Chain A
Amino acid sequence: MRIYPQISLATPGDSFRADLVQTLTDGLSRWKDALNAGWIEDDQQGCFGTGRWQALVDAGLTGLVTSEDFGGMDLAAAELAEVLEHLGYICEDAGLGFSLATHLCSTCVPLKTFGSDALREELLPDLVSASRVGAHAITEAHSGSDAFAMKTTAVRDGDAYVISGDKCFISNAPIADICVIYARTHPTKGALGGFSAFAVDCDSPGFTIGKPRKKMGLRTAPMADLYLSDVRVPASRLIGREGQGFVMLDAVMRWEILCVFAIQVGEMRRQFEACLAYAKERQQFGARIGSFQAVSHRIADMHMRLQSARSWLARMVAALEGGGQASLEFAGAKLAISEAHVANAMDAVTLHGGTGYMSETGIEAQMRNAMGGLIYSGTSDIQKNRIAAILGL
C-alpha cells in the first residue's frame, strides 16, 4: 500500500522526459543500499563517505545538469527536481545529497551558463565524471548575509588575475579540486558590476585549504575555510565577463535552492511516511499512539507542511521554466521549505519519543541537518528581506 500519494512536480509538457526521469529514479533505487551504507557512523564521526559518493557518481548524478556534449544529461528544472526529490527520499545521508548539490551548483551551473567554450571543454567533462570535485566560495568572516561586502580581490596582471583573501564555511572544500572564487574586480562599483567569479585549481600556489570544520549537522558533507595569498589564475579562468559575479551568483543561487530543497522535500516525504507508520504501530496505554489526538494532530501538521513544501517546489520549477526573474518564488520557496523541514524534523523526534533522540536511528540527525537550511543560500531573515523588497517595501 502506498502510504502517501505523491504529487508530480512536473508541469505536463512535451519537453518533460518522463522515460529518462523514470530510468534515473529506478536506477537510483537500485543504489539505495550503497548510498546509505555506514552513514550513521560517518555522521557521528564527521566523515565524508567516499564509497557513498562513488555510488552517486556511478548512478550518473554528477552529470545531471551538464549538457550531453560533456557527458552529462542536461536535465530541465522539472526533471532535475523529480530526480533529486527521489534521491532525498531514498538516501538518508543528507550530507551526501548536500555535497552533490554543492558540486553541481557551484561549478557545473556557472560554467554551463556563463563559461567560455574553452573553459567548458577544459572543466566540465571532469566535473561530470567527478574526477574533479567542485565547490564555491563567497562567504568571508565579515561578509555573510552581506555577501558583496567581501574583501577578497582579484587584480588583473598581464594574462592572469592575482587573487587574495580568506573565505569561510566552504562546503566540499576538503575534497574540492576546483573552487569558484567570487572576488572584487573593481574598486568602487557595487554588487552589480564590481565582482567576478573565477574557476580556481585548489592546488594552485598560494591556495590553502584549512582543516575540516566540525558542525551541528550535515556532518558527512565536508567543510573548510580557504586562504588565498596572491594566487595567480589565468585570465581564461574568469567565468563569463568581468563584473558578472552578482548576476552569476543570482543564477547559481536559484539552482542551488532548487537542488538542495528538492532533496529536502524527498527527505521530508520519507520522514513523514516513517512517522505515520510509527503512529499506527506504536502502542501506549493499550492503544496506538496515533489514536491520541495530540499525536494525530502532529501528523496532520506534518502532512500540511510537507504538502506546502511540495507546492513551493513545484512553484519554483514552474518559475524557472517560465524564464522570468522569479525572485519572489525562490525566496518564498527557500523560506517555506527550510522552515517546514525544521518543524517536521522536530515533530519527528517528539513523535518517536526516546527512540527519536537516539543517534542510532538517524531521526535526530535529520533535525540537526535541517537547521542548516535556515542559514545557507541566504538566511530566513534575508529571504524575508527579499520578499519585502520585491513587494516594494
Chain B
Amino acid sequence: MSYPTLRTFIADEFAMDLTPDQLTDDLDLIENGIIDSLGVLKLIAFLEGEFDLIITPDELDPDNYHTISMIEDIIREKHKTAA
C-alpha cells in the first residue's frame, strides 16, 4: 500500500523547488538536507494526524526518515503492530 497524501505533503512542505520527477520515492531527504528542524516537527505532526499513529522520541532516528519509501515502511509497520 502506498500513501499518496504523504508524497503530496512532502512535495508541498519541503520540496517546492523540486519537480515531481525529482521527488522520487528514493530521493534521500536527509542527505540532501530537504527536511529542516521545523520540518521534522511538521512531518511527525502530519504522520500522527493523517495516519493515526504515535511516534515516540526514541523512534525519531534520522536513519528511519531518509526517503519517502522508508517513511511509508514506518507507517505500514505501525499499522501492522496496531492491528
Contact = CB atoms under 8 A, between A and B. Distances in A.
Given A325-B57, A392-B49, A243 B38 contact: no
B56 A325 contact: yes
Nearest to B65: A192
A254 B57 CA distance: 11
Interface string B18-34: 00000000000011111
A193 B45 contact: no
A385 interface: yes
A22 B35 CA distance: 45
Interface string B48-69: 1100001111001111010000
Interface in A280-338: 323-325, 327-328
Given A188-B31, A188-B32, A243-B62, A389 B57 contact: no
A194 B31 CA distance: 8
Contact of B30 (A193, A251, A254, A325): A193
A392 B37 CA distance: 15
A325 B62 contact: no
Residue in A190, A247, A251, A391 with the greatest tally of chain B CB atoms within 10 Å: A190
B7 interface: no
Label chain A's interface by main secondary structure. helix
A103 to B, nearest CB: 22
A246 B40 contact: yes
Contacts of B49: 392
A29 interface: no
Contacts of A328: 45
B46 A392 contact: yes
A194 B33 contact: yes
A33 interface: no
A327 B30 contact: no
A189 interface: yes
B42 A193 contact: no
Nearest to A243: B62
Nearest to A242: B62
A121 interface: no
A244 B63 CA distance: 9
Given A325-B55, A392-B46, A392-B49, A190 B41 contact: no
Contacts of B11: none
A371 interface: no
Contacts of B30: 189-190, 192-194
Contacts, number: 81
Contacts of B32: 188, 190
Interface in A326-382: 327-328
A190 B35 contact: yes
A191 B36 contact: yes
A85 to B, nearest CB: 23
A325 B46 CA distance: 12
Nearest to A386: B41
A389 B60 contact: no
B15 interface: no
Nearest to B42: A389
B74 interface: no
A77 B54 CA distance: 20
B62 A244 contact: yes
Contacts of A389: 38, 41-42, 45
Given A244-B62, A325-B56, A191 B35 contact: yes
Interface in A159-216: 188-194
A98 interface: no
A250 B57 contact: yes
Given A188-B31, A189-B33, A190-B35, A250 B60 contact: yes
A310 B58 CA distance: 27
Contacts of A323: 56-57
A55 interface: no
B52 to A, nearest CB: 13
A324 B78 CA distance: 14
B44 to A, nearest CB: 6
Interface of A: 147-148, 188-194, 243-244, 246-247, 250-251, 254, 323-325, 327-328, 385-386, 389-392
22 contacts: A148-B36, A148-B37, A190-B36, A191-B35, A191-B37, A191-B39, A191-B40, A192-B35, A192-B37, A192-B40, A244-B62, A250-B57, A254-B57, A324-B55, A325-B45, A325-B55, A328-B45, A386-B41, A389-B45, A390-B42, A392-B42, A392-B46
